[in-house]
Structure 1
Amino acid sequence: MYTTSHVNLPQDAREELIDMLNTLLANAIDLHWQVKQAHWNIRGTHFISRHLLFDDVAKHVRKHADTYAERAGALGGYAQGTIRLASNNSQLPEYDLQAVDGDAHVRALVERVARYAASLRDGIQRSGDQNDPITADLLTQTLGETEEDLWFLESHLNGDARPGITPTRGGNRRGRPAEDVSQVST
């Protein structure tokens, strides 16, 4: 523990949460700079929309990093947020420097954002296990924004729709017509 905290959680729970938040901080810092790598190097078809999307995703992740660091501090911890600490503690793979065209950048980011989202889901579970609804709520809100960013990124990958799912007008996810609820009697 770095400082005294009067947050009503046992010290061992706070220590575990601080460790988890520092890992998420490292993931967020790493992801931010990987997204910026793609932002700076994107070329080709859909350049401007991808360039702007990558910048939005980077801004979101940067905001997440600040939130993790502040929550760790509120729990009495020390935020480990330097670039060197982040590179040592991140769970994300190194950015694919062979990514040159737009689709390669999008695929690389989809993989990393999906891993980041998975680490948030794990953090939500661990926060619940430590009876910390504040951290769980913070991570749940962050996950919502992250999964929306993931959806926006995935939407740039043409031809990668899931097999067996055909969109139909008024249908459900499996392509079957939706029930006509106007004919159901109550």
Structure 2
Amino acid sequence: MKLEDLKKHTYKSRIDLPEENRSKIAEIINNTLANTIDLKTQVKQAHWNVKGMNFYQLHQLFDEMASELEEYIDMFAERIVALGGIAIGTARIAASDSYLPEYPYEITDGKEHLLALADRFSIYAKLVREGIDKTDELKDADTADLYTEVSRTIDKYLWFLEAHLAN
């Protein structure tokens, strides 16, 4: 089976959503899964390489953010499978399917990492809000609720990043 077909493939399930809806939802969540994996690895890139006056605080913040994203990776993957889908979550898929721009590897300054992550969290926050709307339209309140939970946390971390950048 082709990869694109696997992302929306569903097995029989007793979940009371039509198979067509479950297939579309699995595809939506698989896209989010790729972006979440990519965002987590970009946050770890910042965590490992940050330097400067606020090193310790940023190092800790970035690690906390990556840990939270790791939990969301698992939640998204498990939701796909609960709906009868196949979670496609390898690093290769994440790299090829993510909407996020590549992380600037050469930066070390804390402010530059904050700016790069704020840009990426903003893109990801929009993607997550779109997930709320799309899954709600497909009559899957549980998945929409999962996206809502993630959205609140992503907005909080975007606020943290932007607060560090304020004068």
Residue 145 of structure 1 corresponds to which residue in structure 2?
153
Distance apart, 1:83 and its partner CA: 0.5
Q: Tell me which amino acid in the other structure corresponds to 1:100.
A: T
Output the CA distance in 2 between the equivalents of 1:41 and 1:100. 6
Residue 41 of structure 2 corresponds to which residue in structure 1?
33
The root-mean-square deviation of aligned C-alpha atoms, in Å, is: 0.9
Deviating above 3 A after TM superposition, structure 1's stretches of 4 or more consecutive aligned residues are none
Distance apart, 1:47 and its partner CA: 0.7
Residue 81 of structure 1 corresponds to which residue in structure 2?
89
Aligned length, in residue pairs: 159
- Give the one of 1, 6, 12 matched to 1:4: 12
Note if 1:45 corresponds to 2:50. no
* Greater Rg over alpha carbons, structure: 1
2:10 and 2:22 in contact (8 A); partners too: no
The SS at the match of 1:150 is helix
Q: Any unmatched runs of 5+ in structure 1?
A: 160-186
Higher relative contact order (CA 8 A, sep 6+): 2
Q: Any unmatched runs of 5+ in structure 2?
A: 1-8
Output the CA distance in 1 between the equivalents of 2:114 and 2:61. 10
- TM-score w.r.t. length of structure 2: 0.92
Q: Tell me which amino acid in the other structure corresponds to 1:146.
A: I
Output the CA distance in 2 between the equivalents of 1:113 and 1:95. 12
Q: Tell me which amino acid in the other structure corresponds to 1:58.
A: A
1:13 and 1:130 in contact (8 A); partners too: yes
